Chain A
Amino acid sequence: MSIIVENLTKKYGSQRAVDNISFEVKTGEIVGFLGPNGAGKTTTMKIITCFMAPSDGDVKVGGNSIHNNQELIKKKIGYLPENNPLYYDMQILDYLRFVAELQGVPKSKIESRIIEMVRLTGLNDEKHKKIGELSKGYKQRVGLAQAMIHDPEILILDEPTTGLDPNQIVEIRKLIRELGREKTVILSTHILPEVEATCDRILIINKGKIVADGTSEILKKQAQGEEVLRVQILEASSKDEIINALQGLESVSLVDPIKESENSFIINSTPGVSSRKDIFKLCVNKNWILSEMTPIETKLEDIFRQLTTN
C-alpha cells in the first residue's frame, strides 16, 4: 500500500511547520525521516495518521484521501506516536486486547494476535504487569506491539528506538527490516546509523521542507562529488619528492600532507576521475611502498549537518 503526499502544508499561526512537501512511499519501502528537532517530521506523521488536518494539500493512502476516508485509512495504519503515550493503569494484555478490538481484529483472531505480538516484542515475562510498572524500554515495546497488533499494511513509527538498550535496538531494527519486506514503513529518528541500518530511502527534512531524498549511497555520492583518498607512502627519499610526483599525475587535483602522520597525504582526485590506479603505478615505478590507501567517504552525519545548518 503506497502513500502519496501532495503539496502538504501545515501552519501553526504564521509559522509553517510543514511547507509544501511532496513525496511518495511505495509498497514495501522503508523510509526514514531525518531532521533536526522541530523540522516537521512529527507533524507530517500526525497528518498521515489522520490525527491532524493539513492546512493545505492532500495525502493519499492506498488511493484513499485523508480528507474523506479517515476511518478506512486509520485501519490500515499502525502508529507509534512520539513519546509513546499509553494507559498506565492497564495491564499489557488488557491493553493489547482493547487496541485489537478497536482496530476491528476479528474476535477469533484476537488472542492469537496478542500472543504473537507479546512473543515478537519479547514481553512474555512481563505480560501480566500494569503498563505503568514497566521500564521505559518495555513501554516502548508495548507501543510497538499495539501499533502492529492488527497487522497493518503501513507502519508509522515516530522514533521507535528511543529508550531501548543497544541489544533491544538491534532487535527492533531487525524486526522493522523484516516487517518492511511486506509492509510500508515510515520511521523518524535522530540516530543516523539507524537510518543507514534500516531504511531503503532517506528523506531529510529541515524547516518543513524536504532537502534531500534518496538512498544513503546516492546522498553520499551527491554530497561528495569527487574521490578523496588517504595515502601513506614509505621509503621515498623526501616528502617533497612524493608531493611533486603526485601533483604531476593528471588524475590528482590536490595533495595535502597530514601533519600528525609521517608520509601520509590526503589526495583529492580530479572530479569524475579515479586516481587510485595512477597512484599505485607511480609507487611501483619509483619503488616506493604504498602502505595505505583508504577512500574517505562522506558520512551521513556530514550530509545531515551540511543540509540542516545555515
Chain B
Amino acid sequence: MKSIWIIAKRELNSFFDSLIAYILLVVFLGISGFFTWLYGSDIFFVGQATLQPFFSIAYWTLFFFIPALTMRMLAEEKKSGTLELLLTKSISDWQVVLGKFTAVLMLIVIALLLTLPYYFTIASLGPIDHGAVWLGYFGMILMSMTFISIGLFASSITNNQIVSFLLSLFVGVFFLIIFDVLAGSFTGETGQFFSYLSLATHYDSISRGVVDSKDVIYFLSITFFGLLLAESILSKRNIAD
C-alpha cells in the first residue's frame, strides 16, 4: 500500500512539475465551462437547473484527455530503461501499475473537484436534483477508472507514446461508440450482449440517478481487466520461457 502511494506521489509531482497537470486542468475547465455556460445546448438554452450539459461534455473531454495522461506512463519508462530501475527496487509489478493508476485518477479527481463551483452556481439558480449531480460525478469517476486502465494497458505494450495514445483511443472508441452502434443494429441476445458491453448504457443509467450494482460491476471489471493485462505484460519478462 505504501509503495503504491510512493509511486503515485512521484507521478503526481511529475505531472505538476512538467506543466501537464496545469494544461490539462485549464483546458478541461475551459472546454467544459464553455459548453456548459456559453455555447450549444448550454444551461441557459436548456432552461433547467441541471448539470447534464456539463456531464455530457466532460464525458468526451475525458475520453481524449486520459489517454494523453496515460500514454507515457509505462511506455516512456520502458524506452528510457527506468522501468528496470523501478522494478529492481523492493516493489511488485502490481504496485507499479496501481501506483500509476492512482496518480492519474487523483489528477482527474482534482479536475472534477474544480468543477464543483459549477454545481454551486447552478444550485443557486434554481431547484437542482442533488442526487443526480453526485451520481453524475460518481459515474465520471467510474468511467475515468475504465479509461485509465485501458490507457495503462496500451502504454504497457509499446515503448512509443504516440502508439500508446492512439491504441487507447482505439480501444476506447469500441466501448464508447462501436458497441453502442452494434447494439442498435442487432436484435435479441446479440443486441443485448453489445448493449451490455457499451459504456454508454451503463453511464446513462447511472447519470439518470439509478445506481445498479450491475453498472458498477461493469466499470470495475473493465478497470480490473485492463490493469491485469498491463501487469501481466510487465511481468512477462519475468516468466521463464
Q: Which residues of A are in contact with B by a Cβ distance under 8 Å?
A: 11, 46, 49-56, 70-71, 74-75, 77, 79, 81, 83, 85-90, 94, 98-99, 101-104, 146
Residue B239 interfacial (CB < 8 Å): yes
Whether A54 lies near B14 (C-beta < 8 A) is no
Distance in angstroms from A277 CB to nearest chain B CB is: 56
Whether A51 lies near B84 (C-beta < 8 A) is yes
* 0/1 interface trace, chain B 1-45, chain A, CB 8 Å (1 if under): 001001100100110011000000000000000000000000000
Listed A/B pairs (11) with beta-carbon separation below 8 Å: A51-B84, A53-B237, A55-B240, A71-B92, A74-B90, A81-B81, A85-B85, A89-B14, A101-B6, A102-B3, A146-B85
Residues of chain B within 8 A (CB-CB) of A86 are 82, 85
Contacts beyond the supplied A56-B240, A102-B7: 4 A-B pairs with Cβ under 8 Å: A11-B241, A51-B237, A74-B88, A87-B14
- Nearest-CB residue, chain A, relative to B89: A102
Whether A87 lies near B238 (C-beta < 8 A) is no
Which range holds the interface residue count of chain B?
Answer: 20 to 34
Residues of chain B within 8 A (CB-CB) of A74 are 88-91
Q: Which residues of B are in contact with A by a Cβ distance under 8 Å?
A: 3, 6-7, 10, 13-14, 17-18, 80-82, 84-92, 237-241
Whether B88 lies near A75 (C-beta < 8 A) is no
Residues of chain A within 8 A (CB-CB) of B90 are 71, 74-75, 102-104
> Which of A71, A77, A81 contacts B91, CB < 8 Å?
A71
Residues of chain A within 8 A (CB-CB) of B10 are 87, 90, 98
How many contacting A-B pairs (Cβ < 8 A)?
A: 69
- Nearest-CB residue, chain A, relative to B91: A102
Residues of chain A within 8 A (CB-CB) of B89 are 74, 99, 102-103
Distance in angstroms from B223 CB to nearest chain A CB is: 25
**In the complex, A81→B88 CA distance in Å?**
9
Distance in angstroms from A88 CB to nearest chain B CB is: 8
**In the complex, A151→B208 CA distance in Å?**
56
Residues of chain B within 8 A (CB-CB) of A89 are 14, 17-18
Residues of chain B within 8 A (CB-CB) of A90 are 10, 14
**In the complex, A153→B81 CA distance in Å?**
24
- Nearest-CB residue, chain A, relative to B241: A55
**In the complex, A103→B88 CA distance in Å?**
10
Distance in angstroms from A38 CB to nearest chain B CB is: 18
- Nearest-CB residue, chain A, relative to B84: A81
- Nearest-CB residue, chain B, relative to A67: B240
Residues of chain B within 8 A (CB-CB) of A51 are 84, 87-88, 237-238
Whether B240 lies near A53 (C-beta < 8 A) is yes
Whether A49 lies near B88 (C-beta < 8 A) is yes
A46 with B6: in contact, given A55-B240, A71-B90 (CB under 8 Å)? no
Distance in angstroms from A266 CB to nearest chain B CB is: 49
**In the complex, A49→B3 CA distance in Å?**
19
- Nearest-CB residue, chain B, relative to A77: B88
**In the complex, A1→B89 CA distance in Å?**
18
Whether A85 lies near B80 (C-beta < 8 A) is yes
**In the complex, A13→B236 CA distance in Å?**
15
Whether A94 lies near B3 (C-beta < 8 A) is no
Residues of chain A within 8 A (CB-CB) of B3 are 102
Whether A85 lies near B81 (C-beta < 8 A) is yes
- Nearest-CB residue, chain A, relative to B10: A98
Distance in angstroms from A108 CB to nearest chain B CB is: 15
Distance in angstroms from B108 CB to nearest chain A CB is: 21
Residues of chain B within 8 A (CB-CB) of A11 are 241
Residues of chain A within 8 A (CB-CB) of B81 are 81, 83, 85
Residues of chain A within 8 A (CB-CB) of B238 are 50-53
- Nearest-CB residue, chain A, relative to B3: A102
Residues of chain B within 8 A (CB-CB) of A98 are 6, 10
**In the complex, A282→B82 CA distance in Å?**
67
Residues of chain B within 8 A (CB-CB) of A103 are 89-90
- Nearest-CB residue, chain B, relative to A82: B81
Distance in angstroms from A150 CB to nearest chain B CB is: 8
**Lowest 7 CB-CB distances: which A-B pairs, in order?**
A85-B81, A75-B90, A102-B89, A74-B90, A49-B88, A85-B82, A53-B240
Whether A102 lies near B84 (C-beta < 8 A) is no
**In the complex, A146→B13 CA distance in Å?**
19
- Nearest-CB residue, chain A, relative to B6: A101
Which of B90, B237, B238 counts the most A-chain CB atoms under 10 A from its CB? B90
Distance in angstroms from B146 CB to nearest chain A CB is: 28
- Nearest-CB residue, chain A, relative to B236: A53
Distance in angstroms from B17 CB to nearest chain A CB is: 6
**In the complex, A85→B237 CA distance in Å?**
18
**In the complex, A79→B14 CA distance in Å?**
24
**In the complex, A87→B81 CA distance in Å?**
10
Distance in angstroms from B219 CB to nearest chain A CB is: 30
Distance in angstroms from B94 CB to nearest chain A CB is: 11
